[in-house]
């Protein structure tokens, strides 16, 4: 395919014979040009219209010690407001977001988040509330937290929950510290091992290690679940907990979960549920009913807070009755006599505070609005549609890529590009990069670690059948390109603002600032 063909304009409707239906690529934006904002800069030009001050102004030399003063003025662009607006708008258009196109990034649940939840989180009664305001003046916010905690406990099958943790990994740490406090309270503080399956999200072993535990890995069986014989072998009275995701990172539900819970409990350990991606279980199955003792949810994945830009997030942790005493203070309580809500700081067995104040409150507001708007039926529908969409895409892509675990999947699935690699040398990375040329975000690649050339795909429930069909068509076209023109994939992406990056250099020596003259 030539470059020109690669950039043909959109065709409306009807497909030509042999056309995959993959449709047009994202308009080519070409290489990153010199930022226009510097090109347009002219001395004295500006965009601010501030009045002259009507109070005495002391010269800067009187206010700042001489040795701290700049000798030369900074190189700042001097432009009109319109040039400034265009500069930032243009930069924002180089970015990729759920609000612009499909984002099938596995294990991240990049679903569309209803805009009304942004509006609700911005209501002045919430957004202008000072964290030190007395309980009597924050009844609405306290009730929201109280009700959200109840809703999350209902969804997870837990007794109580803390809303403090600021992210999933933070929730994991909270949960593991709760488990440690529980064991210590029973004189079993000697337990020093945490078991994680080899398909676990990297934060699980990291959390266990950070809390001072020895991480013991347990292998998966050929169906992608926990290998029961292996589990039996590693279970002993030194085990504090098993951390599990179910459905796991392969998108597969472990049907042995009751047996697993029984085995761990018999050994005196507890079960931790990594519920970062709860998109497959809402209203269908509850970690508490599966036998888990502790669960964290990522409100920024499942419950409607936009993410991917680095936060803020929220990782509430729910626990069963026996772990409630250890939950961090404060919890929101309701006085049954007066109906008033208050922050209860009197929690003598608590593990201690996990975050300042009450967590990322605006994220809690969004989750509350999302849960209340959908209700139990709506939440169930979210999961049913997420699972349906994933299976719909998986079945079709299994014709072009290897499907290592050929089972019904839940909210996501994992393919392998090993079939392409064997025949053409094309790798999962090349497929991911080529997708960018079609205006589609890459899936998660090379994770989970137990699948070679892994492509982990999570379509989510918010995408239309048309979007899913186009994605399948593009993936098919890429698989065909791999056979015919592997070089095209090896050099992809071709029409993004920046071409293929040196990933190691980008991580180790990131260029975070543009400087005049090109020096980084």
Ligand X SMILES: *Cc1c(COP(=O)(O)O)cnc(C)c1O
Please report how close the Cβ of residue 341 comes to ligand X at its closest, in angstroms.
27
Nearest distance from C-beta of residue 245 to ligand X, angstroms: 5
Nearer to ligand X by C-beta: 156 or 493? 156
Q: How many CB atoms lie within 10 A of CB 79?
A: 21
Cα torsion angle, 413, 417, 419, 420, sign: positive
C-alpha 3/C-alpha 25 separation (Å) is: 11
Q: CB-wise, 412 or 453, nearer to ligand X?
A: 412
Question: Least separation, in Å, of the C-beta of 218 and ligand X?
Answer: 16
Q: Could you give the CA distance from residue 278 to residue 301 in angstroms, rounded to a whole number?
A: 8
For the bound state, the minimum distance from the C-beta of residue 148 to ligand X, rounded and expressed in Å, comes to 17
Q: How far is CA 242 from CA 131, 268, 317, 426, in A?
A: 36, 11, 16, 37
The residue number whose beta carbon is nearest to ligand X equals: 168
What is the dihedral sign for C-alpha 30, 34, 40, 46? positive
Which two tokens mark 166?
């600021």
3-state secondary structure of 306: coil
Cα dihedral 85/91/93/97 (nearest 10): -120
Tokens of 106: 């596995």
Closer to ligand X at the Cβ: 313 or 359? 313
CB under 8 Å to 192, separation ≥6 — which residues? Answer: 212, 213, 214, 238, 240
Q: Is 486 helix (H, G, I), strand (E, B) or coil?
A: helix
Least Å distance, CB 184 to ligand X, is 25
Spatial CB neighbours of 214, under 8 Å, sequence gap ≥ 6: 192, 193, 194, 208
Longest dimension (CA), the chain: 81
C-beta of 310 vs 348, nearer to ligand X: 310
> Which string of DSSP letters, residue by residue, matches 121-190?
HT-HHHHT--TTS-GGG-HHHHHHHHHHHHHHHHHHT-SEEE---SSHHHHHHHHHHHHHHHHHHTT-TT
**Shortest distance, position 307 Cβ to ligand X, whole Å:** 8
Q: Residue 160 in contact with residue 178, Cβ under 8 Å? A: no
Contacts (Cβ under 8 Å, ≥6 apart) of 177: 211, 351
Instruction: Give the footprint of ligand X on this chain (CB under 6 A).
Output: 107, 167-169, 201, 203, 245, 274, 276-277, 298, 313, 315
Distance in angstroms (rounded) separating the CA atoms of residues 388 and 465? 11
Closer Cβ to ligand X, 362 or 472, answer by number:
362
Cα distances (Å, whole numbers) of residue 352 to 84, 178, 327, 363: 47, 10, 8, 22
Sign of CA dihedral 102, 245, 325, 210: negative
For the bound state, the minimum distance from the C-beta of residue 309 to ligand X, rounded and expressed in Å, comes to 12
Residue 276 exposure: Cα atoms within 13 Å on the Cβ side: 26
Partners of 295 in the beta sheet? 273, 318
**109: helix, coil or strand?**
coil
How far, in Å, CA of 110 to CA of 385, rounded? 14
Residue closer to ligand X by CB (options 274, 463) is 274
């Amino acid at each position: 395919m030539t470059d020109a063909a690669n950039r043909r304009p959109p065709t409306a409707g009807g497909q030509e014979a042999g056309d995959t239906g993959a449709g047009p690529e994202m308009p080519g934006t070409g290489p990153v040009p010199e930022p226009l904002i510097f090109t347009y800069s002219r001395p004295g030009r500006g965009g601010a219209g501030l009045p002259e001050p009507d109070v005495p102004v002391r010269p800067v030399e009187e206010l700042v010690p001489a040795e701290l003063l700049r000798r030369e003025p900074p190189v700042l662009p001097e432009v009109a407001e319109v040039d400034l607006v265009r500069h930032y708008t243009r930069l924002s258009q180089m970015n990729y977001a759920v609000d612009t196109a499909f984002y099938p990034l596995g294990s991240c649940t990049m679903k569309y988040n209803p805009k009304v939840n942004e509006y609700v989180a911005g209501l002045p009664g919430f957004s202008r509330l000072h964290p030190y305001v007395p309980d009597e003046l924050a009844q609405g916010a306290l009730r929201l937290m109280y009700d959200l905690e109840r809703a999350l406990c209902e969804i997870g099958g837990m007794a109580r929950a803390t809303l403090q943790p600021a992210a999933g990994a933070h929730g994991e740490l909270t949960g593991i510290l709760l488990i440690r406090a529980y064991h210590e309270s029973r004189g079993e503080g000697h337990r020093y091992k945490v078991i994680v399956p080899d398909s676990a999200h990297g934060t699980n072993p990291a959390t266990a290690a950070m809390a001072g535990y020895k991480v013991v890995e347990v292998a998966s069986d050929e169906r992608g679940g926990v290998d029961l014989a292996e589990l039996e072998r590693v279970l002993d009275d030194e085990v504090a907990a098993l951390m599990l995701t179910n459905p796991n990172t392969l998108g597969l539900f472990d049907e042995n979960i009751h047996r697993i819970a029984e085995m761990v409990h018999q050994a005196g350990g507890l079960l931790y549920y990594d519920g970062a991606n709860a998109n497959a279980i809402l209203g269908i199955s509850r970690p508490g009913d599966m036998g888990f003792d502790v669960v964290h949810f990522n409100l920024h994945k499942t419950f409607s807070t936009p993410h991917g830009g680095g936060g803020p997030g929220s990782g509430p942790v729910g626990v069963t009755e026996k772990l409630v005493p250890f939950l961090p203070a404060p919890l929101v309580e309701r006085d049954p006599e007066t109906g008033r809500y208050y922050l209860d700081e009197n929690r003598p067995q608590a593990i201690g505070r996990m975050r300042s104040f009450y967590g990322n409150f605006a994220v809690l507001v969004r989750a509350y609005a999302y849960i209340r708007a959908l209700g139990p039926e709506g939440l169930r529908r979210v999961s049913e549609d997420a699972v349906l969409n994933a299976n719909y895409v998986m079945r079709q892509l299994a014709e072009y890529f290897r499907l290592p675990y050929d089972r019904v999947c839940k909210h996501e699935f994992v393919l392998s590009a090993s079939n392409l690699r064997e025949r053409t040398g094309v790798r999962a990375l090349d497929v991911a990069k080529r997708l960018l040329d079609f205006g589609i975000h890459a899936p998660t690649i090379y994770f989970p670690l137990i699948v070679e050339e892994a492509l982990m795909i999570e379509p989510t429930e918010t995408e239309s059948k048309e979007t899913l069909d186009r994605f399948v068509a593009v993936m098919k076209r890429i698989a065909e390109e791999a056979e015919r023109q592997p070089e095209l994939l090896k050099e992809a992406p071709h029409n993004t603002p920046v071409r293929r990056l040196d990933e190691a250099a980008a991580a180790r020596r990131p260029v975070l600032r543009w400087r005049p003259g090109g020096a980084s």
